[in-house]
Amino acid sequence: MNTTRRSVLAGGAAAALAATLPGGASAQPALIRKPIPSSGEMIPIVGLGTARRYENAQAADMDPLRDTIRRFAELGGTGIDTSPTYGTAERTMGTLISELGVRDKLFLCTKVAVDNKEQGVAQIEQCFRNLRTDKIDLIAVHNLRDTANGLATLRDLKAAGRIRYYGMTTSFDRQYEEFEAVMRREQMDSIQIDYALDNRNAADRIIPLAKDRGMAVFLNLPFGRGSVFRATQGKPLPDWATEIDCTTWAQFMLKYVVSHDAVTAAMPGMAQAQYVDDNLKAAQGRLPDAAMRRRMERFIDGL
Ligand SMILES: NC(=O)c1ccc[n+]([C@@H]2O[C@H](COP(=O)([O-])OP(=O)(O)OC[C@H]3O[C@@H](n4cnc5c(N)ncnc54)[C@H](OP(=O)(O)O)[C@@H]3O)[C@@H](O)[C@H]2O)c1
């Protein structure tokens, strides 16, 4: 079977995962979705991260950030990742969501990152206030901080119906061993981990384990905080990128990570509407199959 045919098959599978836009809108092609294993709920495979660019937003930053979130929601994006550890990002997001009236379209993810149970409960209550919502879709224990207490609190909040899912995150290789041990002994809906075309260590054990344990996998740092753009700067996309419907490096990098069968969604940091247009195209068209994924790895490793 030639590469084009394989890619088309992969695209067919992707199309089978696709859902229509909310309200059946047809102006934009639907985004590819994948299921959260614990519920079967389908969510778009590309979301939006809020570290750094949303952390210290001043009045002059609000218009471009509002345009970014408006465009994201218009195109059918739902997953937004934020954290009380990202400066004022949560509060900024709460303001933008309420101004735009898009809360019901979004899948809001935030984190808990403190040192004991009481602080955790207080921090989470502040998350609800910051985000101006009475229901948060997902809260995760951040970077293994006070993990056992955090997961217990989140489990109770889910049972009380105040959050819909809970999990934990890391973006550090040095935490992988402990992260894996917690994944084996605790029940949770999701993990969030760093995975990019030039940073594939999470695919060795953690991501396959999440699949075995029925946990959704959200990705942070899908562009390696921009390292993939620095590596490819000034270089043309390979001709064969058209076989997976990529016209930019951002789409190339995102299509690689979201095509891992156990990955649910990537959360690239984006604070410009033009990045939203670019990155959400990675949730459309053909996705790479296994052979194409190997080809993409060889390509990046050869740079
Ligand atoms: N442990 C954790 O829980 C954890 C840790 C780290 C991150 N996270 C989450 O993961 C998210 C993603 O991480 P990140 O934002 O640090 O890094 P990233 O997504 O790997 O990269 C973001 C960078 O990519 C650039 N970019 C985005 N779209 C682009 C496009 N279409 N074309 C060109 N450049 C583009 C941005 O440019 P500009 O510089 O121009 O904005 C930014 O510099 C965070 O926002 C956060 O929500 C979680």
- 276-299 tens-digit pLDDT: 999 999 999 999 999 999 999 999
The dihedral through the CA atoms of 69, 73, 75, 78 has a sign that is positive
pLDDT at 234: 96
Over residues 121-150, mean pLDDT: 98
Q: Is the dihedral of CA 65, 66, 67, 71 positive or negative?
A: positive
Instruction: State in Å: Cα 102 to ligand 1 middle.
Output: 22
CA of 159 to the centre of ligand 1 (A): 32
**Ligand 1 mean position, distance from CA 165 (Å):** 23
1 CA distance to ligand 1 centroid (A)? 36
State the pLDDT at residue 27.
Answer: 65
Q: pLDDT digit string (tens) for 15-65? A: 334 444 444 445 678 999 999 999 999 999 999 999 999 999 999 999 999
Among protein residues, the one with the nearest Cα to ligand 1's atom 24 is 226
Does residue 275's CB lie within 6 angstroms of at least one atom of ligand 1? yes
- Residue 181 one-letter amino acid: A
Q: What is the average pLDDT score of the chain?
A: 93
Closest CA to 32 of 8, 16, 48: 16
Evaluate: CB of 281 within 6 angstroms of ligand 1: no
The response to whether residue 227 sits with its C-beta less than 6 Å from ligand 1 reads no
Count of beta carbons in the 10 Å neighbourhood of residue 267: 22
Cβ 303 vs Cβ 96: under 8 Å:
no
SS (H, E, C) the chain: CCHHHHHHHHHHHHHHHCCCCHHHCCCCCCCCEEECCCCCCEEECECEECCCCCCCCCHHHHHHHHHHHHHHHHCCCCEEECCCCCCCHHHHHHHHHHHHCCHHHCEEEEEECCCCHHHHHHHHHHHHHHHCCCCEEEEEEHHHCCHHHHHHHHHHHHHCCCEEEEEEECCCHHHHHHHHHHHHHCCCCEEEEECECCECHHHCCHHHHHHHCCCEEEEECCCHHHHHHHHHCCCCCCHHHHHHCCCCHHHHHHHHHHCCCCCCEECCECCCHHHHHHHHHHHCCCCCCHHHHHHHHHHHHCC
The dihedral over CA atoms of 191, 195, 200, 203, expressed in degrees to the nearest 10, equals 20
Residue 168 token pair: 């934990």
pLDDT value at residue 128 = 98
Question: Among the atoms of ligand 1, which is closest to the Cα of residue 140?
Answer: 3
CA distance 125 to 175: 27
pLDDT, position 28: 73
Is residue 255's pLDDT more than 90? yes
Domains recognised in the chain with CATH numbers? 40-301 (3.20.20.100)
Is pLDDT at 168 greater than 80 in this prediction?
yes
Ligand 1 atom closest to 219 (CA): 10
CB hemisphere CA count around 140 (13 angstroms) = 28
pTM of the model: 0.93
Least confident piece of the model among 18-27, 98-107, 150-159, 245-254? 18-27
